[in-house]
Structure 1
Amino acid sequence: MIPLTADVVLPCLDEAEALPWVLSRIPEGWRAVVVDNGSGDGSAAVAAGLGATVVHEPRRGFGAACHAGLLAATADFVCFCDCDASLDPALLPTFVKQLADGGADMVLGRRRAAARGAFPPHARAGNAALVRMLRHRTGVRLRDLGPMRAARREALLGLGLTDRRSGYPLEMVVRGADAGWRISERDVPYRPRTGTSKVTGTWRGTWHAVRDMRAVLAAPPRPVPHPAGAR
């Protein structure tokens, strides 16, 4: 049996300290695509030195970095994971296997705090509010909208994602739900990040993320194709 492989998109902004551990956890035979979003700490050089494919995305924004990584991916399956050592890329093969076996069209990691402070109260509150709004908008019942996920590359491109800020992960789920995708969750440990958080580590960052995601939820549904080959 040919082993399953995937490209792992790692949006990166000043993560030089975390990169060695994150890249050491990429499954054997998989490709790490580190998307440098304007780092000033040498993250791109660190990533390249550790064997990752480095993509430079000058336009700031989590969605801009994620989408640049998706466009650079070439594998049939694409995974996304934060680059701050809060999530373990070594867990992603189980996500991809579920896709390959036809058990889901998109698999998300449900974050479960592995240490005190890993998932601060304001981030939990923002996430809970968005999950409720997502259920109202699409009917999809999820418990988390975390950034760790996997899907088929061509199907993701077919969603026509347009958000380039913090709403990108939610837009991916909303557009997938509109297309009738089967979206499932797997529990993953969530650790305190290495370095300073740009989003969920502060009330201000969380507020901006929730604002971006509310705009995604307010957009009207539009038809998108079902992922080819997923069933």
Structure 2
Amino acid sequence: MFTQRSGIGASVDVVLPCLDEAGALPWVLDRMPVDYRPIVADNGSRDGSRQVALERGAVVVDVPERGYGAAVHAGLLAADADVVGVCDADASLDPAELPGLVTQLLAGRADLVLGRRRPTSMRAWPPHARLGNAVVAGRLRRHGVPVHDLGPMRVARREDLLRLPVADRRFGYPLELLLRAAQAGWRIVETDVAYTPRVGRSKVTGTPLGAARTARDMSALLASLR
């Protein structure tokens, strides 16, 4: 458990928004670097995710309000490290890659570092989901946000994140976070991370209809925040 080396000598809290990820959590938590404390923000799991996380030494925060943004925000409030990472709990992203993002942050090259997903196979990122992400990222660039991916893996300083006026508590959270960060003058940098097939089915973009709804909701959020 937690056998990977961080290589930077700094403690980092890692928020893992979670909804029924019992099958993926063992691998995710076992890949957590040394000095990186996992905080599982459990969003009402019914598959034993909470117990799995506790058995592997993670901090567990119960989040009754449903929504990705609600889970991430609750995790941020529970964190106390200066630097906080966020990573999906479905084993599609490897927590062992987090130190590469943290190094850029601590070197002063960015205020927010995003993991730009590079799929390892077609199954990792189906065309409908990749297209929806590309559409929203393209609109973000037109709003002055220099990104190509909404980045479910990211790192920043905790106090800076909490000062951003991000109100969305559902799936628009990553989009609003990027917009608010850009409005605040943050330097946003992307770095490549491997993206592998997740364990289980996505709650957001697992189907073309789900991906279309997500892109629609995010586009509406973009329009409302101009």
Q: Structure 2: any 5+ residue segments left out of the alignment? A: 1-6
Partner Cα separation in structure 2 for residue 124 and residue 158 of structure 1 = 31
Q: CA deviation at 1:118?
A: 0.4
Aligned-residue Cα RMSD (Å) equals 1.4
- 1:129 alignment partner AA: V
Q: Identify which of 133, 158, 161 aligns with 1:156.
A: 161
How does the TM-score come out when normalised to structure 2?
A: 0.94
Partner residue, 1:33: 39
Match of 2:85, SS? strand
In the alignment of these two chains, the number of paired residues is 220
Matches within 5 A, 1:79-98: 79-98=85-104
Specify every segment of 5 or more residues in structure 1 that has no aligned partner in the other structure, as ranges: 222-231
* 1:214 matched residue in structure 2: 219
Alignment CA distance shift 1:217-1:45 (3 Å): same
TM-score, with structure 1 as normaliser: 0.92
Inter-partner Cα distance in structure 2 for 1:204 and 1:66: 24
User: Please, which of 125, 131, 136 is the counterpart of residue 125 of structure 1?
Assistant: 131
Q: Is the 8 A contact 2:129 2:205 kept in 1?
A: yes
| Equivalent position of 1:228 in the other structure | none
- 2: distance between equivalents of 1:48 and 1:199? 26
Percent of residue pairs identical:
61
Query: Are 2:12 and 2:81, in contact at CA under 8 Å, matched by a contact in 1?
Result: yes
- State the shift of 1:140 in Å: 2.1
2:224 aligned partner, one-letter code: A
Matches within 5 A, 1:136-147: 136-137=142-143, 139-147=144-152
Q: Please list every run of at least 4 consecutive aligned residues from structure 1 whose deviation after the TM superposition is greater than 4 angstroms.
A: none
Please point out which of 190, 194, 198 is paired with 1:193: 198
